[in-house]
Chains A and B, each alone.
Chain A
Amino acid sequence: SQQGEEDPQALSIQEGENATMNCSYKTSINNLQWYRQNSGRGLVHLILIRSNEREKHSGRLRVTLDTSKKSSSLLITASRAADTASYFCATANAGNMLTFGGGTRLMVKP
């Protein structure tokens, strides 16, 4: 299956620091998406990067994709306490069916 697996599973940083989360997957993909989930809530789409793209930015978010290594990273710069959440990568096939990883739990301490 096209599994996304995040690393680390948990990350604790101070406000103002950068947070980097990594994702690896196994098979070819159409695109890769990152989502955020606050405890007990729905998933919020953050960013989509297509298989022919290498880097994408959205505000304080920077996503990279290396299809040769089957990996992606999400960088959150200048983190805030409000960024505390779980972050998931999800690989998409041609039909946009998503396969989610286990997530990274990010805690940003004020």
Chain B
Amino acid sequence: EPEVTQTPSHQVTQMGQEVILRCVPISNHLYFYWYRQILGQKVEFLVSFYNNEISEKSEIFDDQFSVERPDGSNFTLKIRSTKLEDSAMYFCASSEAQVHGYTFGSGTRLTVV
């Protein structure tokens, strides 16, 4: 069964450093998403991406965050200057249509120290 692949599975970074989280969505999917889950809290929407542009973003997704689809397969989330409160599990997801269930990746656990 097709999977959404995320790398790395764990990342530890120092406060103020830039991180790039990588995702390979399912190849025939057109809609891409990033969500995060802070330990013990709800899964929160960050951003959705379609047709090479952001279609929706949350208040969390401020100027420190950016997304890119640099080639036909990868979808990346960059955090420019990490803060302690960015520590969370970050999930990438894709869907083949706008009204459709998502396929989530296994997540990247980001720890900012």
Contact = CB atoms under 8 A, between A and B. Distances in A.
Is B a genuine binding partner of A? Answer: yes
Contacts of A12: none
Contacts of B100: 48, 96
A69 to B, nearest CB: 22
Interface in B31-56: 31, 35, 42-45, 48, 55-56
Contacts of A92: 99
Interface string A23-45: 00000001101010000011111
B75 interface: no
Given A88-B43, A101-B42, A95 B104 contact: no
A20 B55 CA distance: 35
B72 interface: no
B-side interface mostly: strand
Contacts of A88: 43
B98 interface: yes
Nearest to B98: A96
A88 B104 CA distance: 14
Contact of A45 (B35, B56, B102): B102
Contact of B106 (A41, A100, A103): A41
Given A42-B91, A42-B106, A95-B55, A48 B45 contact: no
Nearest to B107: A42
Given A33-B101, A42-B4, A95-B56, 5 more contacts: A31-B99, A45-B104, A95-B98, A96-B48, A97-B56
Interface of A: 30-31, 33, 35, 41-48, 50, 88, 90, 92, 95-103
15 contacts: A30-B99, A31-B99, A33-B101, A42-B91, A43-B102, A43-B104, A47-B101, A48-B101, A50-B99, A88-B43, A95-B56, A96-B31, A96-B99, A98-B35, A99-B45
